[in-house]
Structure 1
Amino acid sequence: MNAVLFAATVLIWGTTWIAIAFEVGPVPVLVSVFYRFAAAAAILLVALAATGRLRVPPRRDQPFVLAQALCLFCCNFICFYAAAGRLPSGLISVVFSLSTIFNAVGARVFFGAPITGRTVGAAALGVAGLALLFGRDAAAGLSGDAPTGLGLALLGTLFFSLGNMLSRRNSAAGVTPVTATAWGMLYGALALLGLVALTRTPVVAPPDARYVAALLYLAAVGSVVGFTAYLSLVARIGSTKAAYATVLFPVVALALSTVFEGYRWHWTGFVGLALTLAGNVVVFTGAAPRAPSPAAPALVPRPR
């Protein structure tokens, strides 16, 4: 069963990037992200209510759940969707995999966790990998879309990691990840709707069957099933081992990008991917195999 959950997590989260790329086009980014999380929130809230597991976070925790929602189900995806119009989806997944290193820095800033030499080395590998992956595009001219896409992907990863910090705080306060995610998706959808109204962004209906299929996949499978599979894996084998799944996401995403988006490989890309993945492996292998304390739950990447 553990192998099935692990494989499901890697395949689901590894394929969400190409589904995001399929949504890029006539529908504005804000509207596409709103569609996704409005649908995901409806699915998850109804499922929890039907099974008697729906809980409302205490009033004292609501501001932190809202902040988590803005980071994990709003701002980061605005950046990722905007980046998808400028970069192959597989490269965005590589940037996102650096969230493990961002998390290590965030844990130091917000919770006083030490930054080890292993973490610094992993960061160096990650930066070197990104330089090789994006260097040829950047050298071709800074006026291109690649540098902007890279910046947006990095900003989205930063928001994602900040959401992880808030998730850690909420878990320590007794708000379960499922509860925070269900309400967070709703709050994120409402925030996105507010941005749509504030910016007077035109609400465009899904233009074709491919867009609808990608939307349903992202909402039901990518956001709900993927999250449930990952949480089940964490409960069975622990967060440290389960987090190894994030190392494999870019492999799946880049393979799909090669097939569907015509991503062209160069030797620098292979080396850059290897270095970036190696940085993530170094971070994970540096964690001690012990159970997290109730007061400071393990920090784990949230699903895509």
Structure 2
Amino acid sequence: MFHRDLSSFLALCLIWGTTWIGITIGIERVPAVMFAGTRFTAAGILLIVILSCRDGLQLPDRQSGVRLAIVSVLSITLCYGPMFWGMNHVSSGTAAVLEMSMTPVALLCFAIGLREEAWSAARFAAVAIGVVGLSILFLPDTVSAGEEGTSWLPILGAAAVTWAAISSAFGSILARPLMAAQSSAYIAAWTNLIGGLVLVLGSLIFEEGAAASLTEIWEWEAFAAWAYLVVFGSLIGYTIYMRLIRDVGSRAGSFAFVSPVIAVTIGVVFNSETVTILDICGMILMLGAAYFSMRGSDGVTLEGPAPQSATKISSET
């Protein structure tokens, strides 16, 4: 079990550490929320088709459907909508620190608050070390963001990015009991589809140029980036993430300490970006935090607690 979870975790870190390239390319050419919404919707449809070919089409039942809808909106719609809006008003470094650091913190707090996991001082210490590492890695950009003046927009933007991480974490923990009755792929499929469709609707209502982008032929770079995100970022990556949430609980959030290291490394290798000694120190702290967060206090990797029963799902939805 440990080796399977470790392999899944490393695969998730690698996949989500490379998706920033596709996101950057895509949102430069297509309205950001529409780009995300169509990506998740397409991934959801593809995964549902794949599962239907294997097991037949299985629609969510009424009892679990309410929770699944809530999970979808929290994990996808209320995450990516505010996040893209907020990133327009804060520096990339500030957004990275807020979103990446809040993800594991919120996951752990919600898991404990909803009694999915027990309190662990060692886990909180590991997460705290990771947050320090993130701050060190993105410190120059974060500091420069404080020179933008007294406008409320940077504050609201930072709040939106923070909310995005909290919303996603809450949705992820709420999804865990659903996987007592359904596979992680099934939950990922419907979450992508429902959350993506609501994102598309929101984009059509609020985002400038959204409707036109559905009828235009995208540049090949944007389409290639979109296809990569559909297949790897959402269809494969999100399914792996759901499986890790089921099997190791909030420890899955430790990807937030590894994926930025992969992204920075790719930037150095392929884009001739530079790193400083301070950057390297931050990345070492982040990798160490991920390592200790994925392990128990006795040095042996632990599996997360078993998901709640299907009976409890119906009583809580």
TM-score category (smaller protein)? 0.7 to 0.9
Aligned-residue identity in percent: 23
Q: Between Structure 1 and Structure 2, how many residues are aligned?
A: 294
2:236 is matched with 225
Q: TM-score, normalising length from structure 1?
A: 0.78
1:75 is matched with 78
1:100 paired to 2:104: yes
Deviations 1:173-224 (A, max 9, x none): x243222221222211221122123325322245411110000010022211
Give distance in 2, aligned partners of 1:150 and 1:261.
28
Deviations 1:215-259 (A, max 9, x none): 001002221133456678899xx547x949825422221122335
Cα 1:69/1:263, change in 2 over 3 Å: farther
1:199 is matched with 206
Task: Please show how residues 167-246 of structure 1 align to structure 2 within 5 Å.
Answer: 167-172=175-180, 174-199=181-206, 201-203=208-210, 204=213, 205=216, 207-228=218-239, 239=248, 243=252, 246=255
User: 1:293 aligned to 271, 281, 306, which one?
Assistant: 306
1:252 paired to 2:262: yes
The alpha-carbon deviation at position 28 of structure 1 amounts to: 1.6
The alpha-carbon deviation at position 41 of structure 1 amounts to: 1.6
Cα 1:253/1:201, change in 2 over 3 Å: same
Give distance in 2, aligned partners of 1:206 and 1:147.
36
AA partner of residue 146 (structure 2): L
Give distance in 1, aligned partners of 2:273 and 2:156.
18
1:125 is matched with 129
Q: Please provide the CA RMSD for this pair.
A: 3.7
Contact 1:97 1:250 survives alignment (8 Å):
no
Contact 2:106 2:169 survives alignment (8 Å):
yes
1:270 is matched with 280
AA partner of residue 177 (structure 1): S
1:137 is matched with 141
Contact 1:93 1:250 survives alignment (8 Å):
no
Deviations 1:70-94 (A, max 9, x none): 12222222345456666569x8499
Give distance in 1, aligned partners of 2:8 and 2:186.
21
1:35 is matched with 38
Give distance in 1, aligned partners of 2:200 and 2:207.
10
| Greater CA drift, 14-23 or 1-10 | 1-10
Give distance in 2, aligned partners of 1:188 and 1:232.
18
Cα 1:53/1:225, change in 2 over 3 Å: farther
Q: TM-score, normalising length from structure 2?
A: 0.76
- Say which structure is richer in helix: 2
Give distance in 2, aligned partners of 1:76 and 1:199.
16
Cα 1:274/1:45, change in 2 over 3 Å: same
1:301 is matched with none
Give distance in 1, aligned partners of 2:293 and 2:154.
27
The alpha-carbon deviation at position 156 of structure 1 amounts to: 2.7
Structure 1, unaligned runs of 5 or more: 298-304
User: 1:16 aligned to 5, 14, 19, which one?
Assistant: 19
Contact 1:244 1:281 survives alignment (8 Å):
no
AA partner of residue 200 (structure 2): L
| Greater CA drift, 150-159 or 48-57 | 150-159
Cα 1:46/1:253, change in 2 over 3 Å: same
The alpha-carbon deviation at position 50 of structure 1 amounts to: 1.9
Contact 2:98 2:161 survives alignment (8 Å):
no
Contact 1:74 1:189 survives alignment (8 Å):
yes
* 3-state SS of 1:285 partner: coil
User: 1:58 aligned to 58, 61, 86, which one?
Assistant: 61
Give distance in 2, aligned partners of 1:244 and 1:263.
27
Contact 2:187 2:242 survives alignment (8 Å):
no
| Greater CA drift, 53-62 or 134-143 | 134-143
Structure 2, unaligned runs of 5 or more: 311-317
